[in-house]
Amino acid sequence: MNRPFKPYPFTAKQYPASLPPLQGGVDKARHPVVVVGGGPVGYCAALGLASHGVPVVVLEADDSVCFGSRAICISRRSLEIIARLGAVDGFLEQGLPWTGGRSFYRDDEVLHFKMLMDENQKHPPMINLAQYSIEQFLLDAAEQRSDLVEVRWQNRVTAIDAREDGARLTVETPAGAYTIEADWVVAADGGRSFLREALGLKLKGTSYEGRYVIVDILLDSARPAERLAYFDPPCNPGSTVLVHKQPSGVWRVDYQLRDGEDPDEAIKPENVMPRVESLLGMMGERGAWSPVWIGIYKANALTLDDYRHRRVLFAGDAAHLLPIFGVRGANSGIDDADNLAWKLAFVVKGIASQQLLDSYSAERVAAARENLSYGTKSTEFMAPPSFAFDLMRKAVLGLAVKVPELRSLINPRQSSAIAYTNSPLNAAAQEAEFGAGPACGHVLSECPLEMIVGGLTRAGYLTDLIGPVITALYFSDDGAVPEELSKLDAAMRARGVPFAVVTLASRAGATAAHGWDSTGRLYAMYDAAPGAFYLVRPDGHVIGRWRRFKAAAVTEAIDQLLQS
Amino acid sequence: MTSAPTMTETELDAAYTHLCKTMTELGEARAPLFLARFALLAMVRIGDAALVQKLTDAAAADISS
């Protein structure tokens, strides 16, 4: 059976090579930050830095956004970050939201899982969007910030001299080679990171043997978007198949190779087409379909031990490789970029000491290890690494219909926001006195509210109130803040610390507040009586919280963060 | 089916993984004996003849290859 391939329903714009003004082969300007790699992570880092007013050069080796089937799932946490970066509209317009999935064993449905989706959420728990679109929307936002973000296409880094006070990069382009000096380098150059290689750094962890074939197809189908997993399906006995719907009629099919199957043979179209055909037949899909792309995937669970090497900061796949199962790859990279951007901006602007960047490594290495432990569990189920995992999986799948307690073992453990529980930036504060709400190190819990702007109210969400600053979230009764808080605000501004007091009110009519608890759920959710205070980082993680605002304790927490 | 003191999902997950890893280390040839020994240990710990019989029947029901 042979079906003609069709192209993706997306045309990537091609960009010419660009060279900066040179003096003796060297970029005339020395740059505070150079981001190596124009992928989702590189763009998020660049947009984050720009939101703090820091100029960035992005070096991208290719001449366009990516091609092929790569990241496809963007989590709620990532959407929250991208919203803060001002790039979320396209994601929400084009992405396909989904809230759960089904797993089947042979003919039986053995799990129907749902992710958190209640009336408090601004964003769906997950959307499906192809990586070329993810990159395009971020690139569009970067082009809007061309005052601070310069993207240089067809700029391939071929050497690095990493010093204590900066780095010199050698860049090759079709228009000639040059060198560029940077105070800081963000290495977002992907799974095969040249910078990681050049600095002699090694990823550590586990590589799995089980391989998956990844096929993108175009298919007419009204089936809703959800994660579908078929274990030992009648159409492909002994295999495991995953199916995801993407925008514009693209469907992603992943299936596991059988033991002993030759990967080179397996990805030949004549071997792929019958498998897809029989899968679609089993699913009852009768629409016309065409293949678009075929690739192969092998799970890795690897990370660097440290993401900071002198003035080079690793992020995304360059720093860690996570298994595909649980969709943590791009999402954890976007979280890396969000964590790094404000810290690097604070250091570049001289507001914080360089130690703040060590907390980037500490927090994100810990996050990677947590992601790896979930990803490893998912992989051990989706691609059993031994006869024992295979046998036990068969037992779980066979019993799960009758024994609901076993179904959690089938759950794919989708990516969710990670808490920096042991961060050096956390202030223990009055943690023990709160019975609910996000603890220090956690991200803010979402809640709808009425935003108050210039005396007018409009519907919004709590996270809409978080800007690229340290936010003092004050839970007031009627919008009035203590004089001590106004003094702290003035003192922080005088020191040049990006800081904002955001006042919430428990009742309507508080025109001095930024938002009021129109649903009556917010104060309870945060266990906040009037007077309560949350100190929040620019990335939305809680630094500390107090039953009542205490200027000295809050100042100490901020000082600790800046000098960390 | 009765299930007295329940494990959390995380605990069940950890127990499952520990069992899989232990069985992997013992090797495929010894896996049936390992599972038989585990069944016996669980049996005496359950300590309820009727329940053990019920579990045995449930494990055998609809078993496929």
**Chain A residue numbers touching B6 (CB-CB < 8 A):** 405
CA distance A64 to A165: 32
Residue B1 has pLDDT above 50, yes or no: no
Residue spans of the domains in chain B: they are: 30-59
A396 part of a folded domain:
no
Nearest to A405 among B3, B17, B22 (CB): B3
Domain stop point among A321, A341, A361: A361
Interface test with B, best of A381, A389, A407 (most B CBs within 10 A): A389
Q: pLDDT 10s digit of each residue in chain A, 564 long?
A: 578 999 999 999 999 999 999 999 999 999 999 999 999 999 999 999 999 999 999 999 999 999 998 999 999 999 999 999 999 999 999 999 999 999 999 999 999 999 888 899 999 999 999 999 999 999 999 999 999 999 999 999 999 999 999 999 999 999 999 999 999 999 999 999 999 999 999 999 999 888 899 999 999 999 999 999 999 999 988 889 999 999 999 999 999 988 788 999 999 999 999 999 999 999 999 999 999 999 999 889 999 999 999 999 999 999 999 988 878 899 999 999 999 999 999 999 999 999 999 999 999 999 999 999 888 888 899 889 999 999 999 999 999 999 999 999 998 777 778 999 999 999 987 888 999 999 999 999 999 999 999 889 999 999 999 999 999 999 999 999 999 999 999 999 999 999 999 999 999 989 899 999 999 999 999 999 999 999 999 999 999 999 999 999 999 999 999 996
CATH number at residue A542: 3.40.30.120
CA distance A255 to A241: 4
Distance from CA of A359 to the nearest CA of B (A): 28
Contact indicator for A315, A187 with CB cutoff of 8 Å: yes
A380 part of a folded domain:
no
Contact indicator for A25, A177 with CB cutoff of 8 Å: yes
| Shared-domain flag, residues A331 and A454 | no
Residue B40 has pLDDT above 60, yes or no: yes
Residue B5 has pLDDT above 70, yes or no: no
Contact indicator for A252, A69 with CB cutoff of 8 Å: yes
pTM: 0.94
From its phi and psi, is residue A176 left (phi > 0), alpha (psi between -120 and 50) or beta? left
Is B60 near chain A, with CB under 8 Å? no
| Shared-domain flag, residues A353 and A453 | no
**Chain A residue numbers touching B31 (CB-CB < 8 A):** 387-388, 391
| Shared-domain flag, residues A440 and A522 | yes
Coil/strand/helix, residue A7: coil
Measured CB to CB, residues of chain A less than 8 Å from chain B are 106, 377, 380, 385-389, 391-392, 396, 398-399, 402-403, 405-406, 408-409
Answer yes or no: do A405 and B6 touch at CB < 8 A.
Answer: yes
Answer yes or no: do A405 and B24 touch at CB < 8 A.
Answer: no
Is B58 near chain A, with CB under 8 Å? yes
The CA-atom distances, in angstroms, between A520 and each of A131, A447, A511, A527 are: 39, 10, 18, 12
A340 part of a folded domain:
yes
Distance from CA of A219 to the nearest CA of B (A): 34
**Chain A residue numbers touching B64 (CB-CB < 8 A):** 106, 398
| Shared-domain flag, residues A462 and A553 | yes
Q: For residue A530, give its domain range.
A: 431-563
What count of other Cβ atoms lies within 10 Å of the Cβ of residue A402? 12
ipTM comes to 0.94
Answer yes or no: do B20 and A403 touch at CB < 8 A.
Answer: no
Distance from CA of B31 to the nearest CA of A (A): 8
Number of domains comprising chain A: 2
